[in-house]
């Protein structure tokens, strides 16, 4: 009997500041899987455009930029053309710019191959908006993380302050709502739960509990595969 071991994929999608990044990276660590932070690719494209003076509406130029990103993800750093941008891409204005360019179909198309190239044995945890719906539709386990807008604003506030960025609760709440609207209402790959996704509402849940739940679903999925 031969068994075929293709890499396993777990997708974790959800709105901004829902905690999916932290949950995804801890699940990947626990299982020894690779990690795809797809939002970082949109942030990297956005920051490259800002640095190059390219308008956030110039679709062909942005798609070209996205398709030629020189990125390197190490265990704890993100390098763009050799430069450490791990923290600078987390600035809120980079997130806002990322969500603006993410509505452009040519930009999304230019990032598809790059995202697929993160897949490797024994598995991958992919975090984003369209991981389960578009990029890895055959994933073994799909999770959709949510949290109230207030809980998310609070998490983003702590995250920004922790990284030394300025933050204001009122402005963040507005930012988050606008970003939710842009992400869910865009025509291509809008933010929505994939078919068969497990819903995880984390407003009053610790990160540890969320990670434990995803791992429990994973063990279940492996058994019934």
Query: Site residues (CB under 6 A) for ligand CDP?
Result: 16-17, 21, 38-39, 42-43, 95, 98-99, 102, 128-130, 179, 183
Q: How far is the CB of 147 from ligand CDP (least distance, A)?
A: 11
| Side-chain half-sphere CA neighbours of 204 within 13 A | 0
* Cβ neighbourhood burial of 222 (10 Å; 0-12, 13-18, 19+): exposed
Between residues 179 and 198, which has the closer beta carbon with respect to ligand CDP?
A: 179
Per the listing, tokens 């598809």 go with 112
Between residues 8 and 131, which has the closer beta carbon with respect to ligand CDP?
A: 131
The C-alpha angle 108, 89, 95, rounded to 5 degrees, equals: 60
147 and 202 Cβ atoms separated by less than 8 Å: yes
Pairing of strands 141-146, 123-128: unpaired
Q: How far is the CB of 43 from ligand CDP (least distance, A)?
A: 5
Q: How far is the CB of 170 from ligand CDP (least distance, A)?
A: 18
Pairing of strands 83-84, 71-73: unpaired
39 and 156 Cβ atoms separated by less than 8 Å: no
Between residues 47 and 211, which has the closer beta carbon with respect to ligand CDP?
A: 47
Q: How far is the CB of 23 from ligand CDP (least distance, A)?
A: 12
Q: How far is the CB of 134 from ligand CDP (least distance, A)?
A: 8
Residue nearest to ligand CDP (CB): 39
Between residues 38 and 202, which has the closer beta carbon with respect to ligand CDP?
A: 38
| Side-chain half-sphere CA neighbours of 22 within 13 A | 16
Between residues 91 and 215, which has the closer beta carbon with respect to ligand CDP?
A: 91
């Amino acid at each position: 009997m031969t068994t075929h071991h293709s890499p396993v994929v777990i997708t974790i999608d959800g709105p901004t500041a829902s905690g999916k990044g932290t949950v995804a990276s801890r699940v990947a660590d626990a299982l020894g899987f690779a990690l795809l932070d797809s939002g970082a690719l949109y942030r990297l494209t956005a920051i490259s455009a800002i640095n190059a003076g390219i308008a956030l509406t110039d679709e062909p130029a942005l798609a070209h930029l996205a398709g030629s990103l020189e990125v390197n993800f190490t265990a704890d750093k993100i390098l763009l053309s050799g430069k450490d941008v791990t923290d600078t891409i987390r600035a809120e204005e980079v997130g806002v710019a990322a969500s603006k360019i993410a509505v452009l179909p040519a930009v999304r198309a230019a990032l598809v191959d790059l995202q697929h190239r993160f897949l490797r044995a024994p598995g991958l945890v992919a975090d984003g908006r369209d991981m389960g719906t578009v990029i890895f539709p055959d994933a073994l386990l799909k999770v959709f993380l949510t949290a109230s807008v207030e809980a998310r604003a609070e998490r983003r506030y702590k995250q920004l302050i922790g990284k030394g960025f300025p933050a204001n609760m009122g402005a963040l709440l507005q930012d988050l709502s606008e970003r939710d609207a842009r992400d869910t209402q865009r025509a291509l790959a809008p933010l929505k739960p994939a078919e068969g996704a497990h819903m995880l509402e984390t407003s009053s849940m610790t990160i540890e509990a969320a990670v434990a739940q995803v791992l429990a679903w994973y063990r279940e999925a492996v058994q019934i595969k």
